[in-house]
Amino acid sequence: MIYFNSLANVSLTKKTLILTAVLLIISLFFLFSATSAASPAPQQTLLQQTVLPLDLALDAASTALAACEADGYRVTVAVVDRFGVEKVVLKGDGAGPHTIGSSVGKAFTSASMGRPTGDLAAAIAQNPELDELKAMDERILILAGGLPIEIEGEIVAGIGVGGAPGGNLDAACAQAGIDQITAN
């Protein structure tokens, strides 16, 4: 705050100039503060991703489990999101304890790599150098029975089935689950 009493020896014109300068500085400060507050920061593009809703994940898993049970197979079905995080795990009656890990591993692998796990297993069989894929992440399981779930050209999840007497049978049940949710 400026006290004009301390400026007793200053002429009235100089006092007016000083007061005008102070008011101008304060006005400019508020003007620039308001302008910078009103101007949004540069926009960054946010990523938008399609997510498989829980009800569809549950529907796919239930359908896959029912398909295997109809053929007499005791299995576990897992659905993971695009990042490999479990959304649904359904262990059928009588399914062995090992089927939980195998179904989750197959679902993770198919979602992570974007390919059916049976195709990956076949590629490794033809080209043993690809066997190193298994070492990339401890959750990877390259056995048939895992399929990526693709909606509108985008992989949104993976489904894995474990426990049928062959990976091709696991894959057929997984496909039944995918068909159920993509038929609409």
pLDDT tens digits, residue range 45-90? 888 888 999 999 999 999 999 999 999 999 999 999 999 999 999 9
Find the domain containing 59 and state its range: 54-182
79 plus 168 within the same structural domain: yes
Report pTM.
0.76
Task: For residues 170 and 84, give the distance between their C-alpha atoms in angstroms, rounded to a whole number.
Answer: 19
26 plus 72 within the same structural domain: no
**49 in any annotated domain:** no
137 plus 85 within the same structural domain: yes
**163 in any annotated domain:** yes
Q: Which residues of 138-177 are buried (b: 16+ CB within 10 A; e: fewer)?
A: eebbbbbbbbbbeeeeebbbbbbbbbbeebebbbbbbbbb
Number of folded domains that form the chain:
2
Task: For residues 60 and 52, give the distance between their C-alpha atoms in angstroms, rounded to a whole number.
Answer: 11
**43 in any annotated domain:** no
59 plus 98 within the same structural domain: yes
pLDDT tens digits, residue range 138-180? 999 999 999 999 998 999 999 999 999 999 999 999 999 999 9
What is the CB neighbour count within 10 angstroms for residue 109? 31
